[in-house]
């Protein structure tokens, strides 16, 4: 009985801390606007939408890797998958969940787009260095 | 657990621990987050000691069981102190740090007393039983404390990115550990539980190391962006 209570409480708090931790990661990129290069490549007009995430990630994988972004992108990727599951599982019962999940997925897409902007900038720098050599 | 996977998880955990302490020193944050560093250093020594006993005495030996539970108990108390330290940072501006420490020490003594009372009533009266029971209860109390601390972070509109992410990492760690202990109690033979402990052991130094590397002490967050449901 006690173990079941602790398990239920732990799962609830785990979920809450996971969502907050992922939001703290995506929040760090909220004040950075999406660069012109990324807009051109991804077709994002003004604001990233949740559905843009998959496309941005595909393009990200084509660019040279930045090790400092890797772990955070993986965590945000896990968060995006969790949001998709939530959307598929509960959106019919609770329509508000769909709106919330979409808002969160847009945050994930924005985070990935900002990371893509950094990778494109790095790519340009590397190219410029090679030209100089 | 297969030896190769266990060894890989152990190496990742040790590497992340060393990385966190090194980055703290290099970024002049060692003293500011002294108790977090102390916990990681103690965890490194505990890991080495456990490996030594494991290699010499075997997994099922009483020596290893004693070493495991007593080091786990000491580490949980060290983590408890780390939570108090983070709470002191959060409440520093309100001059409530002294009261936070007082309440936390009372809670720690209360948990130890409660656990002893529970164990004394059992017929076995084994010292290891007390250590295991105390660890379980401390993880749960630690989770409740971290939950309260997170509430305070949101209420006081804490903006320091490092502090926020360290508290969140602790919350994730305590939740996962308390849950895995509960799962172990409910299904002792479940195979997944064998992997959870070592994996969770890696999580805290990895996430703290990432926080120290990624964010400077001056990095700030907007507190409203942290709440799952906007108010």
- Residue B182's domain is classified under what CATH number? 1.20.1070
User: Does B20 touch chain A if contact means CB atoms closer than 8 Å?
Assistant: no
**Residues of chain A found within 8 Å of residue B202, distances taken between Cβ atoms:** none
**What is the domain count for chain B?**
1
**B228 is a domain residue:** no
Within a domain: residue B208? Answer: yes
Residue B57 lies in a domain: yes
In a domain, B71, yes or no: yes
User: CB distance B175–A14 less than 8 Å?
Assistant: yes
Residue B77 included in any domain: yes
Residue B57's domain spans which residues? 3-218
CB B164 within 8 A of CB B86: no
Cβ(B173)–Cβ(B200) under 8 Å?
yes
pTM: 0.81
Does residue B180 sit within a domain?
yes
As a whole number of angstroms, the distance between CA B134 and CA B142 comes to 12
B228 — contact with chain A (CB < 8 Å)?
Answer: yes
Query: Closest to B140 (Cβ–Cβ): which among A6, A18, A30?
Result: A6
List alpha helices for chain A, DSSP H: 2-27, 36-42, 52-60, 67-90, 95-132
B198 vs chain A: nearest CA distance in angstroms? 18
- Whether B227 is in a domain gets the answer no
Q: What confidence tens digit (pLDDT) does each residue in A72-114 have?
A: 888 899 999 999 888 888 877 788 888 888 888 999 999 999 9
- Enter the ipTM: 0.77
CA distance B230 to chain A (A): 9
Could you tell me how many residues make up chain B? 231
The verdict on residue B204 lying in a domain is: yes
> pLDDT tens per residue, chain B (231 residues)?
556 777 788 888 888 889 989 989 998 888 888 989 999 999 999 989 988 898 888 877 888 888 887 888 788 888 888 888 888 888 877 777 777 777 777 877 877 777 667 666 655 555 556 666 666 777 888 888 888 888 888 888 878 888 888 999 999 998 988 888 777 777 766 666 667 777 787 888 888 888 888 888 777 776 666 665 554
Cβ distance of B186 and A17 shorter than 8 Å: no
- Rounded to an integer, the average pLDDT of A24-36 is 83
**Facing residue for A24 by CB, picked from B164, B176, B178:** B164
Specify the residue for token string 């992108």: A73
**Angle of CA points B143, B16, B211, to nearest 5°:** 65
The alpha carbon of residue A91 is apart from the nearest alpha carbon of chain B, in Å, by 16
């Amino acid at each position: 009985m006690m173990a079941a209570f602790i398990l239920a409480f732990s799962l609830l708090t785990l979920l809450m801390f996971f969502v907050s931790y992922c939001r703290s990661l995506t929040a760090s990129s909220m004040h950075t606007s999406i660069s012109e290069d990324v807009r051109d490549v991804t077709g994002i007009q003004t604001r990233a939408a949740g559905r843009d995430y998959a496309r941005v990630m595909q393009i990200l994988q084509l660019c040279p890797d930045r090790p400092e972004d890797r772990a955070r992108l993986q965590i945000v990727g896990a968060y995006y998958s969790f949001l998709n599951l939530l959307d598929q599982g509960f959106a019919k019962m609770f329509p508000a969940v769909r709106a919330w999940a979409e808002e969160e997925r847009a945050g994930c897409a924005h985070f990935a787009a900002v990371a893509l902007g950094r990778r494109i900038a790095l790519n340009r720098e590397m190219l410029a260095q090679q030209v100089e050599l | 657990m297969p030896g190769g996977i266990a060894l890989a998880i152990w190496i990742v955990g040790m590497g992340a621990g060393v990385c966190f302490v090194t980055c703290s020193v290099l970024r002049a944050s060692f003293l500011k987050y002294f108790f977090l560093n102390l916990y990681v250093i103690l965890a490194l020594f505990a890991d080495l000691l456990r490996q030594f006993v494991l290699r010499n005495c075997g997994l099922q030996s009483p020596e290893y069981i004693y070493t495991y539970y007593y080091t786990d108990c000491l580490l949980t108390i060290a983590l408890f102190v780390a939570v108090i330290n983070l709470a002191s940072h959060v409440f520093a501006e309100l001059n409530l740090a002294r009261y936070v420490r007082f309440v936390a020490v009372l809670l720690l003594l209360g948990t130890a007393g409660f656990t002893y009372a529970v164990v004394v009533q059992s017929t076995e009266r084994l010292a290891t039983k007390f250590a295991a029971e105390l660890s379980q209860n401390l993880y749960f109390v630690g989770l409740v404390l971290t939950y309260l601390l997170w509430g305070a972070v949101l209420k006081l509109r804490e903006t320091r990115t490092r502090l926020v992410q360290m508290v969140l990492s602790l919350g994730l760690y305590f939740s996962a550990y308390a849950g895995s202990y509960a799962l172990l109690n409910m299904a002792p033979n479940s195979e997944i539980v064998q992997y959870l402990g070592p994996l969770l052991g890696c999580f805290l130094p990895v996430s703290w190391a990432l926080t120290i590397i990624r964010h400077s002490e001056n990095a700030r967050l907007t507190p409203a962006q942290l709440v799952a449901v906007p108010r």
